[in-house]
Structure 1
Amino acid sequence: MGIVDSKGHLYLKEDPEVWIKNNPASRLALVTSFRLNLENGVEEIAESIGELTHLIHLVFRWCRSLKRVPNAITRLHKLEHLLFHSCSRLEELPANIGNLVSLTHLQLSHCEDIKFLPNSIVNLSKLTSLTLCHCVSLVELPANIGQLASLTHLKLSSCRNIKSLLMSVANLPNLTSLSLSSLSLSEIPYNLGDLKKSLTRLDLSYCNNIEFLPNNIANLSNLTSLSLICCNSLIELPSNLGQLKSLSYLELYYCNKIKSLPDSIKDLCSLDTLIINCCDSLTHLPINLNVLHLKLLNFCPRFLPNGLINLKYLRVNICSCSDESFVNWKDPYSLQHLAISSCFSHCNYILKVPASLNQFVNLQVLSLHYKKRFVELPANLVGLAHLCLLDIQHSSISCLPWSITKLRRLRHLMLPKDFRLETLSYELNISVIISVNERHVRKTWEELKTEIGQLPIPFGGEITNDAAQNPSIMSHPGYLWLKENPSQWIINNRNLLKLVRFLDLEYVELTDSIMQFSELTHLCLDIAADICLPDNYFVTFTRLTHLSLHFFSVGKHKSITHSLSKLSNLQTLHLHMHHSVLLANFNMPVSLKYLSLSYCNNMRPLYDSLEKLTNLKTLDLYSCV
């Protein structure tokens, strides 16, 4: 601070008068960028700032007591950027600010006491950008603002006392971007269409009082982007909207009074992206939309229109009617990227991924969002022959359908952190790159499968829903997933006991009945805090090669860690401990090849035993201290 760096930057927290007096003119000439952050109580600064004649950038930031800036800054004829940020008591700018002949950017943000801008601002012949944000006392712009011939960007945001916009704004001949967000406007100037040759971006977000847009907005022949976010009073869009031949981006968020889009929207020949989010009254879209990227958030996919023959990207929410989603869509062949999530109204429900995915024969990317809503994929994915990337890292899917092995073009598989890697089929393409969310795993299947081992196919084939009376059974060979007491399942399915190789129990009451699964090689348990397991609980599972345990307190499960070393065939161990402390006698079998620990405290027992694990290939530690 107080030193001019090699790039000409100077930063001070006090009136620069003393610094300027103590430095020769040759040093003052080196200063091209000056940031001033005044201490509280400093209401004005000296005129000597005008001696920094080589300034290009001048920033007043967090000068909370500053009320006025000296007229001397108008002598800074090389100044290009002037910024005031959080100067909350600043009342006015110098009346002759128009003398800054080189100024190109003027910005005032969170300057709550500014009530007006000086009329001389129209003399800033090189000004290209004017930004006014959170200037809550500002009532209007200078009447002659249309004379700023070089202005290309005008942004007015959260200046809530500006209740009308001067028609002279439409006289700005080179204006390309106009942002009028969070203003109290009740209408848009009817002559806005006069900006037809220059305006490319229009943002009217959070203008809650606007009910209609002027029809001559369709004259904006070069407009490429239109944003309407939280325009709660907006009733409809102009019927001639389709005349915006250059429009490529249109977004509507929380426009709850719009019931339909004009049919002319299908004439938007350049439309690339259409985003509709939480427009509750909008239930249908016009047919034959010429759009490449479509995002429909909280909008039921049953209402997808026909004629989306060019659609490449679709982001959509599904709800309780998901079984019907996409079924009636007649134009699925162009789609290359599909992203699915759940809508707000069904955020607490388990949802099905539509079985009709197979119709998207050219799909290259499939992604699922909202972790707890999706627990499985459709059994048959064979139709997705061109799929290159499957992203389920933000889901609760722990097992993939067998048909994934038929996707020969699959190159990337992104999995959630609790995915059961052991369930991946050895038939999977060995070049597939597998990454696991939050677990620092990113390897090819060829590398990974040598570490985690294979889930063997039991004699007698798959355990299917048709073969068992319990719907929790998954379609994978030998894989059983239960969310209830296993005792009842055993009673109903004794003939299947010896077929079960992989047992996945989630928050169930454990009893000795689990011992009857004598052929287990893989066991995954989510253990509630109030469950106490008997000593040497796992020793009876002599074939066990993979063990995954999620529990809240090791103190209640000392027998678990005591018995681990006796599992002579164990190759993979995953412990998710919820910030429990590892016990001092924490021992593991020498056969272990893959060890993963999550949320473990006191890692010293692990480090002491590592030298005994001569077969260990991979050690994965996540949030361990």
Structure 2
Amino acid sequence: VATELKVLNLTECFSLKGTPDLSAFKSLEILILKHCRSLEKIHPSIGDLKALVSLNVSGCRELKELPAGVGKMENLRKLILDETAIREIPISRGCLTKLENLSARSCRKLAQLPESMGSLVSLTRLDLSSSGIEELPESIGFLKGLETLNASWCRSLACIPSSIGHLASLSVLELIACSKLAQLPVSICCLTSLTELNLAWTAIAELPESIVNLQNLRIFSISGTHITELPRDIGSCEYYEKLEEVSELPFPHWQELPAGLSTLSITRCGKLKALTNLSSLKRLSQLFVDDCFELTEVTGLEGLQSLSILRVRECPKICRLGAVESLESSRGLHIDEAFPDSSKLTSAK
């Protein structure tokens, strides 16, 4: 029976401290050891499972290492190590060439990835969020098929290698709350497939001018950063009409925004007193203004022909709102329930 078994699911076997010899499971394709909270060791025979395509040990908090044989598997496509005590990922050079999904989320003991990482030529998704990663290897640039890289909440991550510019297929780059990350490499401009870039709550204070070359960027967040100005040409590039969402852009650069924006989120801009000249954003459909405690007026709304959702939240001083009544009546504008008391507002004509 063991030789024919394709799926072995031992999820939440709380008393399991070590797996038995697995060499008899010649046809095994999926091995699930999720939340085996006492598991400390996986038998080295796992390396003999030539048919294995998926290994999931997420939540095995006592598991500190993987057998070296895991790094030599020829057919493995999915390796999930989330919330383990793993200190290193065994990746033999030239092996794991079929691996598509590698997740080491919340592996807080994991400080580095091996240079042999570049062997993972089929990798499309890499999740290192909330891990102890301090740096990414230069060899990451060899991952030509990588589409999603999530290193959010990696509080020890201090730099991104310039080789990241070689990731021609990368569409999503998440770096949220990497509090030691102070700059992006200039090579970021080479990520021609990038559609989403999230730099919220990083230590980044300046954007490279080359960022305007990201022709397919649609979602861009710099919430909670120390960025005080945008690259000079960010509003003039035609391809930025594809940009759909910007979160917390720095005051006073609203007039420099790309004309094609459909969603604009303005959050925690403590010095912002007036929000004006928005009328050029003809495609803007959603406007969110939150926690701007000094904001007193918003004007130019009458020119926002596509506006359908307006939210103004925790802006206690706002007293002037441009033509919101006519917008609401003529186009069915939805005003968020957190909007200030309309009786205290003056409509700008």
TM range (shorter): 0.7 to 0.9
- Determine which of 266, 269, 275 is the counterpart of 1:316: 266
Residue 173 in structure 1 maps to residue 105 in structure 2: no
Aligned equivalent of 2:209 = 263
Residue 273 in structure 1 maps to residue 219 in structure 2: yes
CA shift for structure 1 position 134? 1.4
Residue 112 in structure 1 maps to residue 76 in structure 2: no
Aligned equivalent of 2:244 = 293
Residue 194 in structure 1 maps to residue 142 in structure 2: yes
Which SS does the other structure have where 1:222 is aligned? coil
Aligned equivalent of 2:192 = 245
Q: Deviations over 1:242-286 (max 9, x none)?
A: 11111111001210x21111110100111111122211x112222
User: Using the alignment, how far apart are the partners of 1:473 and 1:296 within structure 2?
Assistant: 26
User: Using the alignment, how far apart are the partners of 2:230 and 2:345 within structure 1?
Assistant: 40
User: Using the alignment, how far apart are the partners of 2:44 and 2:133 within structure 1?
Assistant: 28
**Greater Rg over alpha carbons, structure:** 1
Q: 1:184 to 1:379 in 2, by over 3 A?
A: closer
CA shift for structure 1 position 300? 4.4
- Determine which of 16, 29, 34 is the counterpart of 1:66: 16
Which SS does the other structure have where 2:10 is aligned? strand
User: Using the alignment, how far apart are the partners of 2:276 and 2:115 within structure 1?
Assistant: 47
User: Using the alignment, how far apart are the partners of 1:372 and 1:316 within structure 2?
Assistant: 11
Higher RCO (C-alpha 8 Å, min separation 6): 2
Q: 1:241 to 1:376 in 2, by over 3 A?
A: same
- Determine which of 279, 282, 287 is the counterpart of 2:227: 282
Which SS does the other structure have where 1:182 is aligned? coil
Q: Higher strand fraction: Structure 1 or Structure 2? A: 1
Residue 236 in structure 1 maps to residue 174 in structure 2: no
**Where does the alignment leave 5 or more consecutive residues of structure 1 unmatched?**
1-50, 401-471, 476-625
Residue 81 in structure 1 maps to residue 81 in structure 2: no
CA contact (8 A) 2:28 2:51 kept: yes
Aligned equivalent of 2:42 = 93
User: Using the alignment, how far apart are the partners of 1:394 and 1:353 within structure 2?
Assistant: 18
CA shift for structure 1 position 120? 1.8
CA contact (8 A) 1:306 1:331 kept: no
Q: 1:253 to 1:74 in 2, by over 3 A?
A: farther
User: Using the alignment, how far apart are the partners of 2:156 and 2:281 within structure 1?
Assistant: 39
Look up the equivalent residue of 1:133 and give its one-letter code.
D
- Determine which of 207, 232, 253 is the counterpart of 2:154: 207
Which SS does the other structure have where 1:142 is aligned? coil
CA shift for structure 1 position 336? 2.8
Q: Deviations over 1:288-339 (max 9, x none)?
A: 3325222324x54533362513322222236565552133x58423x23122
CA contact (8 A) 1:323 1:355 kept: no
Compute the TM-score of the two structures, normalised by the length of structure 1: 0.50
CA contact (8 A) 2:313 2:340 kept: no
Compute the TM-score of the two structures, normalised by the length of structure 2: 0.86
User: Using the alignment, how far apart are the partners of 2:61 and 2:345 within structure 1?
Assistant: 63
Which SS does the other structure have where 1:302 is aligned? coil
Q: Deviations over 1:373-396 (max 9, x none)?
A: 598773624775997442324315
Aligned equivalent of 1:336 = 284
User: Using the alignment, how far apart are the partners of 1:251 and 1:374 within structure 2?
Assistant: 30
Q: 1:236 to 1:102 in 2, by over 3 A?
A: same
User: Using the alignment, how far apart are the partners of 2:42 and 2:107 within structure 1?
Assistant: 17
Look up the equivalent residue of 1:326 and give its one-letter code.
T
User: Using the alignment, how far apart are the partners of 1:190 and 1:372 within structure 2?
Assistant: 45
CA shift for structure 1 position 357? 1.4
Aligned equivalent of 2:309 = 366
CA contact (8 A) 2:321 2:345 kept: no
Look up the equivalent residue of 2:128 and give its one-letter code.
L
Look up the equivalent residue of 1:101 and give its one-letter code.
K
Aligned equivalent of 1:183 = 131
User: Using the alignment, how far apart are the partners of 2:24 and 2:10 within structure 1?
Assistant: 17
- Determine which of 351, 356, 371 is the counterpart of 2:300: 356
CA contact (8 A) 1:306 1:330 kept: no
CA contact (8 A) 2:5 2:27 kept: yes
Which SS does the other structure have where 1:264 is aligned? helix
The within-5 A match list for 1:583-602 is none
Q: 1:227 to 1:123 in 2, by over 3 A?
A: same
Which SS does the other structure have where 2:57 is aligned? strand
CA contact (8 A) 1:206 1:230 kept: yes
Which SS does the other structure have where 1:283 is aligned? coil
User: Using the alignment, how far apart are the partners of 1:145 and 1:81 within structure 2?
Assistant: 23
User: Using the alignment, how far apart are the partners of 2:114 and 2:27 within structure 1?
Assistant: 31
Q: Deviations over 1:326-353 (max 9, x none)?
A: 33x58423x231222323x73xx8x556
User: Using the alignment, how far apart are the partners of 1:396 and 1:272 within structure 2?
Assistant: 27
Q: Report the RMSD for the aligned CA atoms in angstroms.
A: 3.0
**Where does the alignment leave 5 or more consecutive residues of structure 2 unmatched?**
235-239
User: Using the alignment, how far apart are the partners of 1:322 and 1:186 within structure 2?
Assistant: 36
The within-5 A match list for 1:405-424 is none
The within-5 A match list for 1:151-170 is 151-170=99-118
Provide the aligned length of Structure 1 versus Structure 2.
Answer: 341
CA contact (8 A) 1:364 1:387 kept: no
Q: Deviations over 1:472-497 (max 9, x none)?
A: 6988xxxxxxxxxxxxxxxxxxxxxx
User: Using the alignment, how far apart are the partners of 2:157 and 2:341 within structure 1?
Assistant: 48
CA shift for structure 1 position 151? 0.2
Look up the equivalent residue of 1:112 and give its one-letter code.
R
Look up the equivalent residue of 1:79 and give its one-letter code.
L
Which SS does the other structure have where 2:62 is aligned? coil
CA contact (8 A) 2:73 2:95 kept: no
CA contact (8 A) 1:373 1:396 kept: no
Q: 1:385 to 1:371 in 2, by over 3 A?
A: closer
Aligned equivalent of 2:174 = 227
